[in-house]
Amino acid sequence: NAGVTQTPKFQVLKTGQSMTLQCAQDMNHNSMYWYRQDPGMGLRLIYYSASEGTTDKGEVPNGYNVSRLNKREFSLRLESAAPSQTSVYFCASSEDGGPGGDTQYFGPGTRLTVL
């Protein structure tokens, strides 16, 4: 099993450009999440999907959109990138029911720089 995979691993964008971060999991998990990690701030939840067909905002959703394409895939889109979105982005998945009690499994991350 590959677990949680993310593409790309690195990306440099110019202000105003758009891009989509891809995430896939092969563990048949129901819930998937997108986080951003900034120095000294831990991980902050951007969006999550408790089950296929549903998405909900997390702590820092502004400037992002998500799509739960199917049970395996959950993408994160930046429509008009800003320097404040320079960060490391992690996708995660868990077996069931929302982000609170389940163990989450993380992908390797995407390092995004917006110039």
- SS3 state of residue 59: coil
Task: Determine if 109 is a binding residue for other proteins (CB under 8 A).
Answer: yes
Stretch that binds other proteins, among 17-25, 36-44, 65-73, 78-86 (CB under 8 A): 36-44
Task: Determine if 45 is a binding residue for other proteins (CB under 8 A).
Answer: yes
Nearer residue to other proteins within complex by CB, 40 or 53: 40
Q: Which of residues 66-95 bind other proteins (CB under 8 A)?
A: 90, 92
Minimal distance in Å, beta carbon 85 to other proteins?
A: 19
Minimal distance in Å, beta carbon 111 to other proteins?
A: 9
Contacts 24+ apart (CB under 8 A), 46-50: 46/76, 46/89, 47/76, 48/98, 48/99, 49/74, 50/97, 50/98
CA pair distance 102, 97, nearest whole angstrom:
8
Task: Determine if 99 is a binding residue for other proteins (CB under 8 A).
Answer: yes
Please state whether beta strands 56-57 and 43-49 pair in parallel, antiparallel, or not at all (unpaired). Answer: antiparallel
